[in-house]
């Protein structure tokens, strides 16, 4: 059993924000597979899917970003999901829009959603797929940057990175190791 979590904030106000690229990526995955997030459990919207007979949960926590761990720990504990079967998709300001990077472990890097997940899981051994959202422009606060929508000039790069992320997720779910997936998709 696997779990792919996309991080974001609930509600229409944040729907297209940089911070919601995890939700945007999972929505793109669901769209490509003709599925919808039609179930709720552990303060999250989710869907179930099977890949080669294995159940996979796609989860969008509805707790707001900084409390994402509250939702994920419910799934991990209830369904006894191993850390190597968990993948978290989220935004990264230290990468330009259009870039993605997968990592097996590490600190939160200042990302409060990942920080909360690390706290709830009790380890930084959390597989992650990070999508670049760029740094704020001069005079723009970090909060306003991540909660702001992608500007029109970044849409093409953002959409391309979410599609590449969907491909990476499918590649990993098809049975390739996380290392193989990182080698293929890190750029």
Distances (CA, A) of 64 to 32, 43, 44: 25, 10, 10
Distance CA 122, CA 115 (A): 10
- 171 annotated to a ligand binding site: no
Active site residue 19: yes
Tokens 């990182």, residue located: 182
- 178 annotated to a ligand binding site: no
- How distant is the alpha carbon of residue 41 from its chain centre? 18
* Per annotation, catalytic residue among 19, 33, 111, 120: 19
Bridge-based pairing state of the strands 44-51 and 86-92: unpaired
- 75 annotated to a ligand binding site: no
Beta bridge partners of 38: none
- 37 annotated to a ligand binding site: no
Contact in structure between 121 and 76 (CB atoms under 8 Å): yes
Residues tagged in the binding site annotation for tRNA: 14, 64, 66, 112
Residues tagged in the binding site annotation: 14, 64, 66, 112
- State the catalytic residues: 19
């Amino acid at each position: 059993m696997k779990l792919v979590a996309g991080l974001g904030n609930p509600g229409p106000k944040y729907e297209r924000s940089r911070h919601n690229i995890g939700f945007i990526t999972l929505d793109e995955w669901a769209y490509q597979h003709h599925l919808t997030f039609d179930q709720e459990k552990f303060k999250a919207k989710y869907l179930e899917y099977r890949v080669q007979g294995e159940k996979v949960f796609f989860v969008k926590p509805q707790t707001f970003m900084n409390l994402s761990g509250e939702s994920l720990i419910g799934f991990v504990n209830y369904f006894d999901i191993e850390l190597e079967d968990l993948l978290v998709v989220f935004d990264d300001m230290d990468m330009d829009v259009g870039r993605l990077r997968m990592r097996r472990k590490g600190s939160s890097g200042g990302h409060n959603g990942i920080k909360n997940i690390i706290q709830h899981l009790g380890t930084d051994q959390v597989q992650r797929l990070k999508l670049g959202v760029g740094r704020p422009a001069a005079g723009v606060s970090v909060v306003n940057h991540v909660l702001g929508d992608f500007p029109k000039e970044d849409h093409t790069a953002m959409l391309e990175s979410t599609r590449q992320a969907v491909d990476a997720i499918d590649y990993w779910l098809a049975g390739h190791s996380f290392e193989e997936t990182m080698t293929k998709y890190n750029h």
